[in-house]
Amino acid sequence: MTDPLPSTSRSLPIALIRAREGVMAPIREMLSETGITEQQWRVLRVLDEAGSMDTKTLANRASLLFPSLTRIASAMRDKGLITQTRDTVDRRRQMIALAPAGQKIIDDHRHRAGQIVDGFRATLGTENYETLLDLLGRLDPGPRD
């Protein structure tokens, strides 16, 4: 018996990459004028949504690996987008908070970002959009604790 792999045109990993390309294209276009990257935008989004938090929690919520976040946070600190402070009790820990310049980027682009999301929701239809999020969620491995 042969044991054919699925055609690459029906391959789940490739489909996920391509869908991500399609979704991120307009977002990247929006962000290009701000000078921040897609990952930095995710960090700002999470901090705006949930307030300041420690690095580990931030990495999980923004779906970034720890070493990536170390570099990203250091770049964002240098740009004045966030602040980093050592936990006084456990000096291994670090708290990260939104700085005014970071908050301004969120505020300035919240509306357009919402429009982009609405565009995709309209493309698929609300029901399909929610179905897609549910199915994707079932493939999510969860936090790597």
Partner DNA sequence: TGTCAATAATTAACATGTTAACGATACTGC
Partner DNA sequence: GCAGTATCGTTAACATGTTAATTATTGACA
**Is there binding between residue 112 and DNA (CB under 7 A)?**
no
What are the two backbone dihedrals, phi and then psi, of residue 96, each rounded to the nearest 5 degrees?
-120, 130
Query: Cβ of residue 36: shortest distance to a copy of itself, in angstroms?
Result: 15
The only residue of 75, 84, 103, 120 in contact with a copy of itself, by rule CB under 8 A: 120
Site for a copy of itself in 39-68 (CB under 8 A): 42, 45-46, 49, 61-63
Site residue total, a copy of itself (CB under 8 A): 51
x/- letters, 36..55, toward DNA (CB under 7 A):
-x-xx-------------xx
Pick from 44, 46, 47, 64: which binds DNA (CB under 7 A)? 64
Q: Which residues bind DNA (CB under 7 A)?
A: 21, 24, 28, 32, 37, 39-40, 54-56, 64-75, 84, 89-94
